[in-house]
Structure 1
Amino acid sequence: MATQKLASLFFLQQIIHVLFILHLANADHGLKLGFYQKTCPDAEAITRKITHQHISRAPTLAAPLLRMHFHDCFIRGCDGSVLLNSTKNNQAEKDAFANLSLRGYQVIDAVKSALENKCPGVVSCADILALVTRDAVSMIKGPFWDVPTGRRDGRESVASETRDLPPPFGNITLLKQKFAAKGLSVKDLVVLSGAHTIGTSHCSSFETRLYNFTGKGDTDPTLDPNYVVHLKRKCQPGDTTTLVKMDPGSFRTFDGDYYTLVAKRRGLFQSDAALLEDTETKSYVKLQANTYGSTFAKDFAESMVNMGKIGVLTGKAGEIRKHCAFVN
């Protein structure tokens, strides 16, 4: 009898332990859905309305806003540090070479201004960026996902730290390392790469693939030769101004066409081509290419939630900025 009681007690302790682990796993790093329900109940509705006003006039803003959120989360975590201006003594992230093509700061500022009028000192710039990104993507036929909120704003932004961003010339080993360092999976890597279904790129981001891949005046052999001819017509050596669509035909619409392009060896960057170097990522590319992106929208929503939790500041960490470009 005593043995049975001990066994029951041990089993109960195991269950409690498992439930505790599950609670930690679902704690979302201090974030939660409806974080502003009591302190600023209209926060998400106001954000959505203002984002809609901007995206309806300029749908191409969705891509750089998505990229801005990505670049924010990969440097210091999703703390709004990409929004800070440089100062006399410090060059901020937004002025680093990798971020010079980011656009859409005016959307974040407009939302912040409206929320400060409604609920002063309550909604963080980091949360605004996460919400605006979600709304902008959903407005160009992309998925909608629930954004857990409660992020607080960081007080530091250092341009040199943008070296931690996954580079467009990265091979699969480097890309996997960059994503793993942020707690993201290989699936998150291949899914979030699908963000290249919208937007444009400067020729300079892939020029080496066309004209000097190994330093001998050659082209990247993993790039479709016919596509090389097409790209060379658009991009002359040294061109730093011409923009090329990353997903020709639907660069303003969020869809699964990106994977069809990658499968045909027509991804614009080496990092796109790299997805065919790994068994897991290649399998995902082929699946989406063969099924017209059947699970891409759902997968992208899940990976965006995962990305939005990277290194967040919650509780009393950081601050709630009054203006997104300046610390308080």
Structure 2
Amino acid sequence: MACPKLFLSCLLLELMFFFLVPEVAQGHSLKVGFYGKACPNAEAIVKEVIGQILSVAPSLSGPLLRLHFHDCFVRGCEGSVLLDSPTYQSEKYAFRKHGLRGYQEIDRVKTALEKACPGIVSCADILALVARDVVVATGGLFYDVETGRRDGYVSISEEARRDLIPPTANITTLKADFAKRGLSAKDLVILSGGHTIGNSHCSPFSNRLYNFTGKGDADPTLDSNYIARLKLSCKPNDQTTLVEMDPGSARTFDIKYFDLILKRRGLFTSDAALLDDNQTKAYLDFQIKTGGSTFFKDFGVSMVKMGRIGVLPKMAGEVRKVCTKVN
């Protein structure tokens, strides 16, 4: 179904399906190998391009993984995070402060797929496949990705600001926001493990260093030695500096970030909050004690589950020819 030329018509059509379909994980139209006949080399093409990208820009592993997270947690997994706006009102502009990158690399994947199979592979599916290939390229386990998503027509920055779970969230907010998307407390702690790769700007955690309660104090739950180390890089009101979320291991998919959380060195308030729930803390303890015996497999299971959030039904959306704009 082609999108009407008038944006208002697109918006009304998209909103109709948005309210008809619950936000929780759906994914009824998804299946592994969806492109088996229409574009049999689709997954191989994505893997090849991502391999080329990471070979010269390994620091993009974290941002490319998080694009899929940001897409699914706002409006569902339908590629809205990729849309441009001439008035800077789409989701990607709300995410600038989160240091989200990798848009040009997604365009590069899309270009390769369009050359091989024009109009077949959706941008939403590209995000899901790229996330998997990044995990594998950085040391994680392969998992089958369900595909068959449709691309949405609408992307609104205010929705992104409203719906994305902030790094300052406490455990009650985290569990509630995951639950309304059909994700469990176990999924919460597992998917938080994605912080094992990539960097963060100072701003999402600066309050923990300089003004936690509004009195110029530091977060008492954050290790004092780690605070001193972070302050060397992050000065008050720093908006540009990047620090590794998993120091010394930020380009390797492993369980070391869980170890940091248990040592009170999780970078974000939302990471430290995992110690405030018996179930999430028990999972952290178990993975560290067993060397991550189930984490790598569990991560794939939770990613597939997340990838079903708010998937558009077959009669809605489109397959974009270019990921930054509707057809």
TM-score computed with the length of structure 1 as normaliser? 0.89
Q: 1:100: how far off?
A: 5.2
Tell me which amino acid in the other structure corresponds to 2:46.
T
8 Å CA contact retained: 1:259, 1:293: no
Counterpart of 1:153? 151
CA gap 1:84/1:228 in 2 versus in 1, 3 angstroms? same
Gaps of 5+ in 2: 1-25
Q: In the TM superposition, what are the counterparts of 1:282-293 in structure 2 within 5 Å?
A: 282-293=281-292
1:307 aligns with 2:306: yes
How far apart are the structure 1 equivalents of 2:109 and 2:254?
Answer: 27
The structural deviation recorded for 1:290 is: 2.1
Per-residue deviation at 1:28?
Answer: 4.2
Aligned equivalent of 1:91 = 89
Does the CA contact (< 8 Å) of 1:165 and 1:178 recur in 2?
no
**TM-score, normalised with respect to structure 2:** 0.89
1:99 Cα deviation after fit:
5.8
Q: For the residues of structure 2 that align with 1:223 and 1:150, how far apart are their CA atoms?
A: 42
Question: Which deviations, in whole Å up to 9, do the C-alpha atoms of 1:89-136 show, x marking residues without a partner?
Answer: x60000014565111112211121121122111110101111111111
Displacement after TM superposition at 1:56 (Å): 1.4
The Cα of 1:321 is off from its aligned counterpart by 0.5
Identity of aligned residues (%): 64
Equivalent residue number for residue 7 of structure 2: none
Distance 2:292 2:219 in 1: 27
Over the aligned positions, Cα root-mean-square deviation in angstroms equals 1.5
Could you tell me whether the CA contact under 8 Å between 1:257 and 1:292 is conserved in 2? no
- Secondary structure in 1 matching 2:176: helix
Report the counterpart of residue 120 of structure 1 in structure 2.
118
1:17-66 deviations in Å (ceiling 9; x for gaps): xxxxxxxxxx9421011111111111111111111111111111110011
1:224–1:266 CA contact under 8 A, matched in 2:
yes
Structure 2 match to 1:11: none
Q: Alpha-carbon deviations, 1:65-106, whole Å to 9, x = none?
A: 111100000001000000000134x60000014565111112
Structure scoring higher RCO (CA < 8 A, sep ≥ 6) equals 2
- Evaluate the alpha carbon distance shift between residue 183 and residue 28 of structure 1 in structure 2; reply closer, same or farther with a 3 A threshold: same
Match of 2:20 in 1: none
How many residue pairs get aligned? The number is 302
Query: Do structure 1's residue 164 and structure 2's residue 163 form an aligned pair?
Result: yes
Checking the alignment, whether the CA contact within 8 Å between 1:93 and 1:99 is kept in structure 2 is: no
Q: Is the 8 Å Cα contact of residues 196 and 256 (structure 2) preserved in structure 1?
A: yes
1:280 matches 2:283: no
After TM superposition, the structure 1 stretch with the greater mean CA deviation from structure 2, 288-297 or 219-228, is: 288-297
Name 1:55's counterpart in structure 2.
Answer: 54
Partner of 1:144: 142
Q: How does 1:8-157 map to 2 (within 5 A)?
A: 28-88=27-87, 91-97=89-95, 101-157=99-155
Contact 2:202/2:234, CA 8 A, preserved across alignment: yes
Task: Give the whole-Å Cα distance in 2 for the aligned partners of 1:291 and 1:56.
Answer: 31
Long gaps (5+) in structure 1: 1-26
Checking the alignment, whether the CA contact within 8 Å between 2:140 and 2:253 is kept in structure 1 is yes
Distance in 2 between the 1:156 and 1:271 partners? Answer: 29
Partner-residue secondary structure (3-state), 1:201: strand
Question: For residues 253 and 203 of structure 1, what CA distance do their matches in structure 2 show?
Answer: 21
The structure that has the greater radius of gyration is 1
